[in-house]
Structure 1
């Protein structure tokens, strides 16, 4: 932290008590900043006329400030603030007035530019080191920073006492200590504290090292910023360096485990579609605000981001109707006053599968097919494969019996990813700028023409001072994406390329001698995944997305009213999207080795077809606000915000398609058959208008209050229900600032927080208060020879449909001890949602022609807690910062519109009201049947067919109610579908030029579906290894008998397994090249690093080879999560 030489002219003294350190340091920063900006020294001969009778010294100081540009800095304990004096001067110099005013006081003053610093007079008798007459010792010295610059106002305390002093403008100090055994504690905000025993020393020179972690932190909140120590709501934040520990393609995946209460689940690893789902405290998707504007942030390059804040309770209520699920605030980097700094970052990443079941080889496949046939009770002589054929498939030496490993043939071990970005940052007093250009390329895990995703990020943020009181900001951004993948879907679900993969048989060859012909491998009618995963063969899905954003902001500070400013912001966002799906016919063949002949086995499609979808969506946001920020009498800090916001949304969509192309070589619509032409389209408009008010009050920096009120209007509702009003209030008490805590030397900060807030939700179909009709998409009537489409009423209008209301209450505590060597926070919360739209259970006659409307009838609540604890310490050249967080939350329905249940089992299993929202039901199992005798001994009917379908190796279910049959009444609550416990453990370590950062992330107490016996042609190796066999009769097997009863796949604890996990989410090892080497080649900083994500996972699903974040019920049927290893370099010039 460098000091400017001008600062040496300032003699700034703070009191001995530690509790004033932060206040004085803030004043020093402001003072130094203004000194840097001064072009000409403020005249010390300024004259002023005063006529003040019977006033205190502080009142006279304030009057001088009002009439001149002077600002006073002083400690009130130095002055007799009760003494009253009179001043009568006519055009008298301020210095002369001060000489008169301070006569008789044991203080002096220094005038530097327009600052007047009041300090105590020096005692000449204490300037020489040595032993005093009462055997106490005087110690002198200098305190400097790492560059050797003196630190002004550093604190020196005799440990265990209240005896202390501070350094002067030259960093010098002198202090008298009681004994030689005394220990001096040297501290300064922003630097690491140092303890030095006095011993026989009379001169002690100390060099303090900067500690950026303890600098006073400013957090982005709704429509502004606040000091973290003054927050009264539950707000968590992280900075850029935490987001860029390990390269990620999607910013959402960098947040996992880093913020308490934020749950991050990544369900896919597909390039361009690997966005994680986010929820705050178990709520639904939160509102995302980027640089003050509602926007998505998953496609923003993490290197562009300055900070991310998460508003979790009443702090989010300022965003009203859109904030019911919490708010994520993203702030991009801006220019700073410095010489231009150019930063280049480059990394090469390898992506590999975390966990994924692998298909069986040809021998295993044939063995399982035969086993399934026989164990299902069918004739053994008709089994699909003989023992000899199975042996040949295992052997693989006979070309007539190929053994194809389709996983190795189709899927890469590691797919490449490249990321490059270049930024420039700098500015002066007039203009500050930040520019960014980034490029990302991700390749698919499919080997042959599996596709790729490209993203380009461009950002320009400019801050300009137009006049002394007027500033202008211009932010321009563009995100351009393009991708190409096979036309077959890859997302989780049934009919996709992953289904083709599990239907591709290993008993067929991957290639044929004639490279122009495609091998037939079944694939469930598609020929095989080697066809459908190759966009050059079967066709493609191309996507082009262009997002443009521009924001202009004017800030005006009123010169006549201290603390009053105005702001006007206008933002426009336009998004263009185009998606093209082109399908080509593919023929595949069988090959007979003996005759060297090819036989056409089938085809995927007959002729090419093309469909195109284009959409354009735009929004215009306007904000106008007044802000008043002022401190009265040094103890009352008042901030008031009044804001108007209006948002207009527009969108349109159009599609066109044609089939039966004459040739797949021409990929344009005109090449298709005119008679197959189809087109469609739609357009939409929506708007919101809001008024916002916020008041922040702080008394002596220890009693904190915040109140907000937001009025939102949504065009979705009728004029009488359009407006919603959402208040919030929160308070904080900084106990550590109380006088009775001043002797708690090891306490840095202790703050209690409470909050209450209301917000809303207008997430309903637009304009349900209006009558409307729906145009049927089919010809419903025939008049003559002409088929005619019909229109039908949509729903009965409901003019009373209105806002869903959300109330949230919370309480929390923030603490830190021992110069932040221990720090943490804890929160508890309760949230209630009422007026959730739902449809009543009443029914209408089918002849009515319309359905019942939605009404505000459902409600649920949510409760939970969060806890974070961290420690920071350093040992010689080692530095460690370790923090962990844990959170719990869960939803429960208060009322859900449903039938009136009277049956006890229906109430237990089907009733929603009064129960958790994500209960998972199923049967309780007791291993597998080991013999027919066990089946015969059953006292109830398990298969609803007198147990005649049961065989050894089938799942044994427990008849929980003890009646004569197994049915839905025997099901029990097994657990939850979604994780309600989450945790994160962050470890940051540094040794000299090396740095190591690791993040462990976990989620617990939820279940997933591990059923592996799906309706597919090829089972996995896990099925083969974990199955029950007659030879082993392993009744504890994880997979029941092949060809077993259909009841084996029923919902049960045999199928649903605990999926909790702990994952090494990210790790990075870096080395900063010594500056002595870099200075020779004009490089400011250079760091090389090795990093990775999803490196290790500890869970109970290893035996199934299923990733714990796999979509429920889709294990193996989706693009799996990726483990990444990256090598990169970061250079600044």
Structure 2
């Protein structure tokens, strides 16, 4: 018996391993592509069973398997792989056959999408392709890198930002700017430091942007900040810094003291005041500025954090101008319950302090026109002034003006993501953005306000506050089976914004020691001459949205979305609107008849249509309002109320502009994407334009009101080419070319209720003393046309000869306003970008070009300072050059002679870097670099910089004016350091 028991126990012991093997084993692993990048939503299953798992964002999976199992791994765009399992507990799997560029994730509205599945016009720029060196904001990182997105830098002011326009002008009184989303929360291109950005994605066409409804007519820019991607439990520290020096890009060649004295000797009526002063040099400096960015990345795949601190101290080339900025970002992520719940908390805090002094447009004008024989100061040390009209000492203006401002913005956001099952997840996002602005300005007793205008000092304060709340709930369902993949998105969004401001101004102070800190001390207040204003507004936006993406066999793709949105900014009869979108894609490269070729690696046709909107610039345009006016009154609520007059008419039918855009595109790649790119054709029509219409009084209370009237059309072509020209072990060269065209037309300015009697409106302004408009926008014509007297010669008396409306040549004295004609256009027909990245061993070199062609510029400096009619003002050295072979002796007039071709090709950026070998323990990467921004411009334009013109804001319909009151553009030299530990 004992022997039998012993034998039984021995057999049981020998059988235990086989019993254990008969039980299910747990397998964990990762699925990656050939480049080592994780593949998300790869399907991992046991063959001939229902056991199935999907990889997460890091390519990880977990499943159980039994004996004699075969693991099947597949993902769209990759070759399927089968692996025999023999007691493995961990497994790292590499899938081949995938196209890496197609498997990149592109950020789209409310989520991400595989690039190969995108059916709309979307451009994505990663951090490694950003513009190198000194950049002022996020937009400049992608300058010249996205076809159809025009980004310009019209001002060298350190407090200015870039200007952005996507696919032409799309509104008259609505916003032209794209919607900017930072990590899911609406923001601006200055919300985060450029060094803190991981990628920028641009939703260009209507089918991509329609998911954002009324805010998306100008396009959508999605900014994704840098986050910790390490799954290991370790901390990484990065430090990036640079120092730069700025110089004026090109100095205007004004007459100097020797020119004055030469002309005086020839009988010209200039005045020699006995000094030698280069006023432009006196108001300029070549400042040194610096920027520092410190980043921390730590944690593991369950809990990780990112913290960044950015400090910028920039001085401008004009005296007493500068900006100091401190930006802090903290991002914390945590997941629990086996990854079913993920949370995120983010704080972005930015404080910007700016100093403008008296510098800027007016001081720059005075520096140009100041007599070069005049002294800076009088013998007693006071600023030397003159009683000439609009003629001030620029240095006195700069130094005797205080103009300080501080901006604070705190952005708090948090999200909770819950995944009850593998294919379904819900996300709740909430954010609050609080912004505060405080400025103060004052002029001293030595300022011209006192020395010339007897104001005894002036002072003002301005403050504003803005609070914006956002709440979004989204649900996302992804299902993959066989050759089918569905992605269904649904959501709700609520946004509200409250803004308020206060302003007070006073003058005639007993001392200038108070600056702007004791406004009540000015005696103008007691005389009723001070001013004070305040304002508050609020708007709300609510939206319901849904989107369906379907991919079959990695060949055929469909996207359909709709947003139903309501806004408080419109009339009570039109507060809700619907914004649908639909697009199709056909991946021809995956068809059987092309699979055998080694030439074509990508060939996808896209086509789509989408509807977006533009909201009014003010939240109360549909409602009647009243302004206070002494001695006047109005009937309000059936009663006479003294002191109030109507300021706006009631319009309950006011609604948003509606843009319908069609887009057709082709994405292609040949020779394993050695050459790749895209071509897009688009046409967009904006109906129900927001337009201030003239209306009769009575029955209306005021003579104009904002209506929906008219339509506008834009069309164009966009091309982007990427070429991996050289790919060797020690040397590589990648080059990218972007090209875009845009053609616009104002179709109509009427609606069903009102017909315009004058089918045009004038825009732009020359300023004093000419005081005429510069542009005319005509129904049936393009936007941006200059409207001017066409100069064709100069008579024997030095006066202009112009062409009248009948084509006859007449003296300018006989010309009438009706003789003005369209002459040139300020909007470029073509925009190009050419970006090059070269690497040789440890050296890296980037060379970037940008250009704009087919447009004209009104050179205001030549208009005013190349005509020596007023001998009290300095002029350009070219002022006495012959015009049509004769000396010009004309009054200041706006003629076509001063409209120049504005074509340019700019060598925009050159950056040379060197990465040092890893010789210091603990330092993972150490790179030094040098960069030059705005290095050289190939152009025939005679002004400072052909890019120094504005195309947005007040100049939307008067583009191409190079104003005389401007902050000149600069060239920037940079030395920098990148190091990580």
TM-score grouping bracket, smaller chain normalisation: 0.7 to 0.9
- Which residue in the other structure is 2:287 paired with? 415
Deviations 1:117-171 (A, max 9, x none): 9xxxxxxxxxxxxxxxxxxxxxxxxxxxxxxxxx95668xxxxxxxxxxxxxxxx
State how many pairs are aligned: 888
Distance in 1 between the 2:734 and 2:798 partners?
A: 57
Mapped contact 2:131–2:140 kept (Cα < 8 A): no
Deviations 1:987-1008 (A, max 9, x none): 1101000000011001111111
Q: SS at the partner of 2:510?
A: coil
Q: 1:116 to 1:601 in 2, by over 3 A?
A: closer
- Which residue in the other structure is 2:714 paired with? 862
Deviations 1:949-999 (A, max 9, x none): xx1474564775349865455544322112231110001101000000011
2:336 counterpart of 1:466? yes
2:278 counterpart of 1:405? yes
Deviation of 1:330 after TM superposition, in Å, equals: 0.9
- Which residue in the other structure is 1:252 paired with? 139
Mapped contact 1:505–1:523 kept (Cα < 8 A): no
Mapped contact 1:342–1:425 kept (Cα < 8 A): yes
Mapped contact 1:25–1:189 kept (Cα < 8 A): no
- Which residue in the other structure is 2:85 paired with? 110
2:686 counterpart of 1:821? no
Deviation of 1:720 after TM superposition, in Å, equals: 3.4
Q: SS at the partner of 1:1091?
A: strand
- Which residue in the other structure is 1:141 paired with? none
Q: SS at the partner of 1:995?
A: strand
Distance in 2 between the 1:244 and 1:882 partners?
A: 14
> In structure 2, which of residues 835, 857, 864 is the aligned counterpart of residue 1014 of structure 1?
864
Distance in 2 between the 1:606 and 1:154 partners?
A: 78
Q: 1:681 to 1:31 in 2, by over 3 A?
A: closer
Mapped contact 2:933–2:971 kept (Cα < 8 A): yes
Mapped contact 2:149–2:165 kept (Cα < 8 A): yes
- Which residue in the other structure is 2:446 paired with? 586
2:939 counterpart of 1:1099? yes
Mapped contact 1:357–1:1106 kept (Cα < 8 A): no
Deviations 1:787-844 (A, max 9, x none): x961112333121222221100000001111122111110000001111123445532
- Which residue in the other structure is 1:505 paired with? 371
Deviations 1:351-407 (A, max 9, x none): 111134243212324555787x86xxxxxxxx455xxxxxxx6xxxxxx72221112
- Which residue in the other structure is 2:247 paired with? 352
2:618 counterpart of 1:646? no
> In structure 1, which of residues 1043, 1050, 1054 is the aligned counterpart of residue 894 of structure 2?
1050
> In structure 2, which of residues 901, 926, 949 is the aligned counterpart of residue 1110 of structure 1?
949
Deviations 1:1060-1119 (A, max 9, x none): 1110111100001012x2xx34211011000011110011114x4454433544444210
Cα RMSD (Å) of the superposition? 3.7
- Which residue in the other structure is 2:462 paired with? 613
Q: 1:955 to 1:990 in 2, by over 3 A?
A: farther
Q: SS at the partner of 2:742?
A: strand
Alignment of 1:1052-1071 (within 5 A): 1052=896, 1054-1071=897-914
> In structure 2, which of residues 101, 115, 127 is the aligned counterpart of residue 240 of structure 1?
127
- Which residue in the other structure is 1:79 paired with? none
Deviations 1:499-539 (A, max 9, x none): 3223422122234565x4333466856640011122xxx12
2:155 counterpart of 1:268? yes
Q: Which has the higher Rg, Structure 1 or Structure 2?
A: 1
Deviates more, 1:257-266 or 1:273-282: 273-282
Mapped contact 1:317–1:726 kept (Cα < 8 A): yes
> In structure 1, which of residues 535, 538, 541 is the aligned counterpart of residue 403 of structure 2?
541
Distance in 2 between the 1:262 and 1:555 partners?
A: 33
Q: 1:605 to 1:277 in 2, by over 3 A?
A: farther
Structure 2: 5+ residue runs without aligned partners? 1-25, 72-80, 171-175, 635-640, 761-774, 951-959
Distance in 1 between the 2:722 and 2:459 partners?
A: 57
Mapped contact 2:283–2:367 kept (Cα < 8 A): no
Mapped contact 2:371–2:872 kept (Cα < 8 A): no
Mapped contact 1:1008–1:1108 kept (Cα < 8 A): no
- Which residue in the other structure is 1:570 paired with? 430
Mapped contact 1:358–1:1021 kept (Cα < 8 A): no
Distance in 2 between the 1:967 and 1:657 partners?
A: 43
Distance in 1 between the 2:51 and 2:43 partners?
A: 19
- Which residue in the other structure is 2:615 paired with? 762
- Which residue in the other structure is 1:475 paired with? 346
Q: 1:479 to 1:107 in 2, by over 3 A?
A: closer
- The structure, 1 or 2, with the larger RCO (C-alpha pairs under 8 Å, 6+ apart) is 2
Distance in 1 between the 2:533 and 2:580 partners?
A: 44
Distance in 1 between the 2:871 and 2:352 partners?
A: 36
Distance in 2 between the 1:719 and 1:954 partners?
A: 56
Mapped contact 1:243–1:302 kept (Cα < 8 A): no
- Which residue in the other structure is 2:926 paired with? 1086
Deviations 1:1003-1022 (A, max 9, x none): 11111112424289679998
- Which residue in the other structure is 1:796 paired with? 649
Alignment of 1:487-886 (within 5 A): 488=358, 490-491=360-361, 496-511=362-377, 516-520=381-385, 524=389, 527-534=392-399, 538-559=400-421, 562-586=422-446, 602-603=451-452, 605-633=454-482, 635-667=483-515, 668-669=517-518, 670-673=520-523, 675=526, 678-776=531-629, 778=630, 780=632, 790-845=643-698, 849-872=701-724, 873-886=726-739
Distance in 1 between the 2:177 and 2:980 partners?
A: 37
Alignment of 1:164-313 (within 5 A): 214=101, 216-283=103-170, 284-313=176-205
- Which residue in the other structure is 1:322 paired with? 215
Q: 1:849 to 1:811 in 2, by over 3 A?
A: closer
Deviates more, 1:242-251 or 1:873-882: 242-251
Mapped contact 1:642–1:694 kept (Cα < 8 A): yes
Distance in 2 between the 1:884 and 1:639 partners?
A: 33
Deviates more, 1:969-978 or 1:1082-1091: 969-978
Alignment of 1:320-399 (within 5 A): 320-337=213-230, 338=232, 339-365=234-260, 383-384=269-270
Mapped contact 1:961–1:969 kept (Cα < 8 A): no
Q: SS at the partner of 2:237?
A: strand
- Which residue in the other structure is 2:848 paired with? 999
Mapped contact 2:913–2:930 kept (Cα < 8 A): yes
Q: SS at the partner of 1:665?
A: coil
Distance in 2 between the 1:478 and 1:812 partners?
A: 40
Q: 1:384 to 1:677 in 2, by over 3 A?
A: closer
Q: 1:503 to 1:64 in 2, by over 3 A?
A: closer
Structure 1: 5+ residue runs without aligned partners? 1-8, 14-21, 36-57, 74-91, 100-105, 118-150, 156-187, 191-213, 375-382, 386-392, 394-399, 589-599, 783-787, 904-908, 933-950, 1029-1033
The TM-score with structure 2 as length reference comes to: 0.83
Deviations 1:255-296 (A, max 9, x none): 321110001122211111243343344442111111111111
Q: 1:107 to 1:11 in 2, by over 3 A?
A: farther
Mapped contact 1:828–1:866 kept (Cα < 8 A): yes
Deviations 1:182-231 (A, max 9, x none): xxxxxx866xxxxxxxxxxxxxxxxxxxxxxx583211111111111111
- Which residue in the other structure is 1:484 paired with? 355
